[in-house]
Amino acid sequence: MSEQIIDRLEKTEHIMKLDHVSKSYKSKNRIVKVLSDISVDFHSHKFYAIMGHSGSGKSTLVNILGLIDSFDIGKYELYGTNVSNFKDIELSNLRMKNIGFIFQGFHLNPTLKAYENVIVPMLINKDINPKERKKRAIELLTSVGLKERVDHFPNELSGGEQQRVAIARALANNPKIILADEPTGNLDEKHEQEIFHQLKELSNIGKCVIVVSHSNEVKKYADRVFKIVDGTLVGDDR
């Protein structure tokens, strides 16, 4: 099933659709509703920004879209196919080929060099020739401006550089979807602009980029901005 979706994903711009999705969790014997009746579509070639105050549920939304979190009711379609009840192994396969994650804390493996961090996701992708892995990792790092830093360990790189390594890693298996959760949360203003610029470039080459951010700077780059208010998604009029 997941293979079919992957094939169809190659040919369309309409990628993800959430249909009346709600999620709540239990906290200290009370039910907290995080997302309430969310319905939204995401397309390729677009840069989406999701904003909202802390705890509003924006990361939860991105995690659901990234197939790493579940929801209580509703439907999630990935290119027209309901993936809500997919098994873990199928979800892993979908994530590998279609979704690249970027985190606020970069989460690079400190014992691996920059290019080795980028290679790690490729190791499970049979479509990438093992002999091509290193070359591809260096190309990706070059594309994010780190040609001279491929042999550096994460602790030898600045925060901005580390996040660019994380972007290259997210692109390792050439996914159609890039999900970034507060990617500039640990960066200064200059590096923030660099990262948003990189992500915008990705949407320009056909990726569906969804960025969760507190920063108003993201609005400058986003094709569409969503705000989560009281668990519901409010879109701008762009």
Partner 1 sequence: MNIKSYFKIAVLNIFRDKKKVYFILVMLICTILALGVLTFKSIFSKHISDSINKNIGFRVIDVVPKLDVEDYGKSEITKIKHIDDIYSSQYGSVYAKSSFANEKFDGSIELIYGEKSALPNNIIGATFKKGQKNVAICPIDFYPDISIYDTKINEKNIIDGNTLLGKDFAIKYYSYSFNGTKKTIEAEFTKTFKIVGLYDSKNVMNMGNQCYVPFEDIKEITDKGIISEMNTAIYAFSIIVDSSQNVNYVVDKLDELGFTGIRLKNQIDQKLVNTIIISCDVTVALVLFAVILLVSSYTKKKILGEAKTIGVLRTSGYKKSAVINLYLLEIIISNILSYIIGMIIFTIIYLILKNLVFNYLTYFGMMMPLNIFDYIYAFIIIVVITSIIADYYIIKKINLNIVDLIGSEE
**Interacting residues with partner 1 (CB under 8 A):** 54-56, 58-60, 63, 66, 68-69, 88-89, 92-97, 99, 101, 103-105, 107, 109-112, 116, 120-121, 123-125, 130, 153, 169, 172-173, 181-182, 185, 212
First to last CA, the chain: 35
The least CB distance from residue 237 to partner 1, in Å, is 26
SS3 78: strand
Judged by beta carbon, residue 154 or residue 160, the one nearer partner 1 is: 154
The least CB distance from residue 168 to partner 1, in Å, is 13
Kindly state the helix (H) or strand (E) to which residue 15 belongs, with its residue range: strand 14-27
Judged by beta carbon, residue 143 or residue 186, the one nearer partner 1 is: 186
The least CB distance from residue 9 to partner 1, in Å, is 14
Judged by beta carbon, residue 153 or residue 223, the one nearer partner 1 is: 153
| Residues sharing a CB contact under 8 Å with residue 210, sequence separation 6 or more, in sequence order | 42, 48, 50, 62, 65, 177, 178, 179, 180
Judged by beta carbon, residue 27 or residue 237, the one nearer partner 1 is: 27
Please list the helix, strand and coil fractions of the chain in percent, rounded to the nearest 5, in that order: 40, 30, 35
CA–CA gap between residue 238 and residue 235 (Å, rounded): 8
SS3 24: strand
The least CB distance from residue 101 to partner 1, in Å, is 4
CB atoms near residue 146 (< 10 Å): 22
Judged by beta carbon, residue 72 or residue 204, the one nearer partner 1 is: 72
SS3 112: coil
Judged by beta carbon, residue 55 or residue 204, the one nearer partner 1 is: 55
